[in-house]
Amino acid sequence: MDILITGVSSGIGWGLSKYYLSKGDTIYGVSRRIPKDLMKYPNFKHLSTDLSKLDKINANFQPFIRSITSLDIVVLNAGILGEIKDLKKQSIEDINSVMDINVWSNKVLIDILTKSIINIKSVVAISSGVSVKGNRGWGAYSISKASLNMLIQLYAAENKATSFYALAPGLVDTDMQNYLCSDKLNTTLFPASQKLINARNTDLMPLPLKAGELLANGILKLQKLPSGSFSDIRKMV
């Protein structure tokens, strides 16, 4: 398969890339940092770019995708957490910085890819369980992921030739957890953090490599669902 994945330098994007590459698939990876261990694969192509610079995405992407005529899967994974604190303490500027990466960069990418590449079978946006659950402190992130779910639903209504899905990956032990499971957060004020602390270093929170395999299998199951669907991998049978 030919697969484009954003945010491949670490975490979920890295785990997915590693899994697909081990199966012989071709990966078009996008991230700011260069994933040196992935670069050794001949079937890995990389674009180093900053997706927060929305006005630069098109110019940076066009040379990278020029030779691509079809993609089996596009995984829109790149995202940021933002700071965990009450919404009343989050400025519009703070929220906008999260929205730019988690939502608007994906709109720009979808527009570029669907216009430039004739055949795209499916687009999978990595969402979150907090997109449908308002945990205290997760303001900007929750709002951005809820918006991402709707973005995917709307694009599904506009593009019948491509299947669109939003997928919550469950708990994954990424760099993000170093902050979420640290003593910097008040677990009484933000109780969702305690659940993450309890899950870390257990099977409930796999490392990125294992999570990549689980997500790749979950992405296959999405094909049975209507385009525009939101799914949580923890609830998929």
Residues across the chain: 237
Domains of the chain (ranges; CATH) run: 2-170+207-235 (3.40.50.720)
Pair 44, 92: CB distance under 8 Å: no
Tell me, what's the pLDDT at 197?
A: 94
Query: Phi and psi at residue 109, in whole multiples of 5°?
Result: -65, -45
CA distance 135 to 166: 19
Tell me, what's the pLDDT at 237?
A: 60
Identify the bridge partners of residue 76 per DSSP, sorted by sequence position: 125
pLDDT values of the chain reduced to their tens digit, one per residue, 237 residues: 999 999 999 999 999 999 999 999 999 999 999 999 999 999 999 999 999 999 999 999 999 999 999 999 999 999 999 999 999 999 999 999 999 999 999 999 999 999 999 899 999 999 999 999 989 999 999 999 999 999 999 999 999 999 999 999 999 999 999 999 988 889 999 999 899 999 999 999 999 999 999 999 999 999 999 999 999 999 986
Angular region, 115: left φ>0, alpha ψ -120 to 50, beta rest: alpha
